[in-house]
Amino acid sequence: MPTVELKLMGLTCNGCVNKVTEALMSQESVDQVDVSQEAATITGSISPDEAIEVIENLGFEAEE
């Protein structure tokens, strides 16, 4: 499975981490997610751009 690794900005608490985790896991193209306040590792067929869009729609920033 392909893996996407992103740098995250703006996550300040476990609630933020949980929100990003749930949003990414709700995507059909995502199989597994590991999110911290600084980074996300996403396994599945989601593209980096799609993953960044999901995160930015929550009000956080992400980059490869």
pLDDT digits (tens, 9 = 90+) for 2-58: 999 999 999 999 999 999 999 999 999 999 999 999 999 999 999 999 999 999 999
* CA distances for 15 relative to 4, 9, 12, angstroms: 22, 14, 8
Res 51: pLDDT: 98
- Per the structure, the complete domain to which residue 25 belongs is given by 3-63
CATH number at 41 reads: 3.30.70.100
If pLDDT is split at 50, 70 and 90, which confidence band does 60 have?
Answer: very high
Strand partners, 24: none
Report the number of distinct structural domains present in the chain: 1
Strand ranges, E, within the chain: 3-9, 30-35, 39-44, 61-63
Torsion of CA 20, 24, 26, 31, to 10 degrees: -140
If pLDDT is split at 50, 70 and 90, which confidence band does 1 have?
Answer: confident
